[in-house]
Structure 1
Amino acid sequence: MQSSTPSRKRGPAVRRLCCAVAMCAALAACGATYRNHGYVPTAEELDQIAVGVDTRASVEETLGSSAAGSVLQDDAMYFVRSRVKNFALLDSEVVERTIVAISFDSAGVVRNVETFGLEDGQVVPLARRVTDTTVEGRTFLGQLFGNIGRFTPSGIDG
């Protein structure tokens, strides 16, 4: 009978300890997590780039290839780094973004090196426009046979 008395005293203590551990684990799970994306050269690396002297090839040799380049012309390199915060079930939030833009002149020589932060940018809303189609309610065969007679020899380039 005496041997059961100590186990009865340990029961509530073990339950309290388990509850405390579970509460600590639940609180730790609600902490924010951060993800880092991309690469931006350090200030020391950027100091090695001489405006008016270095070319695209020497910049790539010093800094490596960039994350992006100019879309229409080959006159710039962009290095982008972002830090994103996730907290519980809330939407992700970009808390830091750094962009280094290295622009080149027509001869491929460095013209300018600029650094931009998140505070320099603007939020660009994306529009979800849908192109109207005239094929709604028409089957594939209906579309195919509907073109018969619409072709003329003058419309064919050869």
Structure 2
Amino acid sequence: MFGVRFCFSRAVVVVCLMFAASCSATYQNHGYVPSEKDLAELVVGVDNRATVDDVIGPPSASGVLSEGDYYYIRSRIRTFGAFKPEVVERQVLAISFDQGDRIANIERFGLEDGNIVPLTRRVTDSSVVGNNLLRQLLANIGNLNPGDLFN
């Protein structure tokens, strides 16, 4: 009797611990931002794009053109149970270049510096939404050109 009660209480404790562990937050890190030590090796107005590539590496995102500015982005995302993932930290390092391809400015931005930008998508409406198959077939009768059939 005592052994069964002990096993049951031990099982309850194990289930409670597993439940508590499954509800803990998990973190995912995405991207890369160079450290301050690496950035200290770059000199604004002196170093160029090739030096940046050698010292800290090319970025995963750059400006629109091939000669655009460099952007290094790192995000930390927290996932907690079944809730929607939340970005808890974001750093953006922007290195801009002048006309001579030398470093013009190095700026660092955080999540608190940004604004929420709602993303929208454009969807082309289909012209056949309200039409059934018979209406679509009958609508095409006037569009038939017999000369196109024999060419």
**TM norm structure 2:** 0.82
Deviations 1:81-100 (A, max 9, x none): 00000000000000000000
Unaligned 5+ segments in structure 2 are none
Residue 24 of structure 2 is aligned to residue 31 of structure 1: yes
In structure 2, the residue matched to 1:91 is: 84
* Alpha carbons of structure 1 residues 24 and 62: separation in structure 2 relative to 1, 3 Å: same
Identical residues among aligned pairs (%): 42
* Alpha carbons of structure 1 residues 148 and 59: separation in structure 2 relative to 1, 3 Å: farther
Looking at CA atoms only, which structure, 1 or 2, has the larger radius of gyration?
1
- Contact map agreement 1:85 1:95 (CA 8 A) in 2: yes
Unaligned 5+ segments in structure 1 are 1-7, 150-158
Partner of residue 71 from structure 1, selected from 58, 64, 71 = 64
* Alpha carbons of structure 1 residues 146 and 60: separation in structure 2 relative to 1, 3 Å: farther
**What's the CA shift for 1:40?**
0.4
Deviations 1:9-50 (A, max 9, x none): 111011101110110111110000000000000001111110
| RMSD after superposition | 2.3
Q: How does 1:70-149 map to 2 (within 5 A)?
A: 70-72=63-65, 74-134=67-127
Instruction: Name the count of aligned residue pairs.
Output: 138
- Contact map agreement 1:54 1:109 (CA 8 A) in 2: yes
- Contact map agreement 1:100 1:115 (CA 8 A) in 2: yes
**TM norm structure 1:** 0.79
Between the aligned partners of 2:102 and 2:145, the Cα distance in structure 1 is 54
**What's the CA shift for 1:135?**
6.6
